[in-house]
Amino acid sequence: MPKKKVIKKTITKKKTKPVEVKEDLLLQPPRGMRDILPKDQPYWQQVRRVSEKAASDFGYRRIDLPVLEFSNLFSRGIGTGTDIVEKEMYSFSTKGGEKVSLRPEFTAGLVRSYVQNGMQVDPKPVKLYYIGPCYRYDRPQEGRFREFFQFGCEAFGEIDAILDAQMIQMAWRIVHQLGIKNASVSVNSIGCPVCRKQYRNLLVSYFESKRQKLCIDCKRRLETNPMRILDCKEDKCVQVSQNAPQSVDHLCDECRAHFKDLLEYLDELEIPFTIDPNLVRGLDYYTKTVFEIFAGSIEDGVKKNALGGGGRYDGLVKLIGGEDTPAIGFALGMDRLVNEMKKTGAKSYIPPQPKVFLAQLGSFAKRKSLKMFEALERAGIMVAESFGRGSLKSQLKIADRLGVELTLILGQKEAIDGTVILKEMASGTQEVINAAKIVDEVKKRLKK
């Protein structure tokens, strides 16, 4: 029987070009994020200047941290039962499969850096400060953005309550130096893991009897973290919390003595404060001292316009993998500070104004003016200019509007001769000066 001939056919599929889908370009940032425009920068500059000056005065050194960390750093440090970890983190997987998150706060990352970089061998207390953006997928509202900025300080290795008082003193000084006079301080002690265990049982028993009056989130918190019910801002939960057991009534001897010392230090510093038994802060790592600074009035027991806060977190370093190390820190919301400054009419940063204006006319003079501008700046003389404007009249109008004391005029003739016209704006008198001596001459005139 003859063999059948098998004919192989190669079928080639036509390659189809990917269809390019055009999306409308939205001329706006994502929801909850915004531009900080030049007109607002003087307020931000003032916040940065005052905050960093205070940190330096109190002996804190700057540290910059990555904006991206492994997600489990926050879930372990902040707590899996917190709103930040459950609802508010920007988390995603990289192309390499790593689970990372944009930082929702600084403390966990700073503790990671403290342990990783061996700072535990440094002289105690180790004092560090930071400044930069954080990210939380929270509902945008007044003073709260999904991209927001914080300034904060952290100190490691000191258990004494005097450091707690100094932290509050520093935060208080910053707020007041920014011109926010209607600020107040609330403090509380939430105890240590030893005494908190008994207190937690009392809370659970109390809130179980009021379960029907709690919001959905707080019913869940009752199982995971009942202390956070005290931090809820829902009206019905606030009313229930008003009669809840207070942590200060159930402190162990050590925590009671620590809180007593703190209050005495604050009295000595003459910082006005109130003890708020419902103040717990929203993160799991806090122990003993917690505090908050806010502006405005108190309505129905709910603090408005929180500007920042902090507290002690004596167990976090060990939890993340370091040695057992006491620590305390605070953070101020820069966005909220700026908003409050605007509301209360506080002064923004006033940058130094130039006292000299450099005017030029003609292409050759324009080239020469660049070198003269640099020579004046190198000598520490702040100079204004308008190199793009061709009209001498328009340039002199700018000089007059800026209120400078001296105007230097460099035309084609002066550029060729190696001279410059120096005009005193108050009197209107002007004279020709050797260009090589103009820096010394300007210094001499400004001193007068």
Set out the domains of the chain in order of their start, with CATH numbers: 41-192+252-344 (3.30.930.10), 356-447 (3.40.50.800)
What pTM did the predictor assign?
0.84
The predicted structure's pLDDT at residue 68:
95
Distances (CA, A) of 307 to 242, 257, 395, 440: 23, 28, 44, 49
Say if residues 162 and 265 touch (Cβ distance below 8 Å): yes
pLDDT band at 169 (very low <50, low <70, confident <90, very high): very high
Q: Which residues contact 173 (CB under 8 A, 6 or more apart)?
A: 54
Say if residues 300 and 238 touch (Cβ distance below 8 Å): yes
The predicted structure's pLDDT at residue 116:
96
pLDDT tens, position by position, 375-395: 999 999 999 988 876 688 888
pLDDT higher than threshold 70 for residue 299: no
Q: Which two tokens stand for residue 315?
A: 């167990």
Please name which of 76, 81, 73 lies closest in space to residue 99, comparing C-alpha atoms: 73
The predicted structure's pLDDT at residue 340:
93
pLDDT higher than threshold 70 for residue 98: yes
pLDDT tens, position by position, 350-362: 888 999 999 998 8
pLDDT higher than threshold 70 for residue 6: no
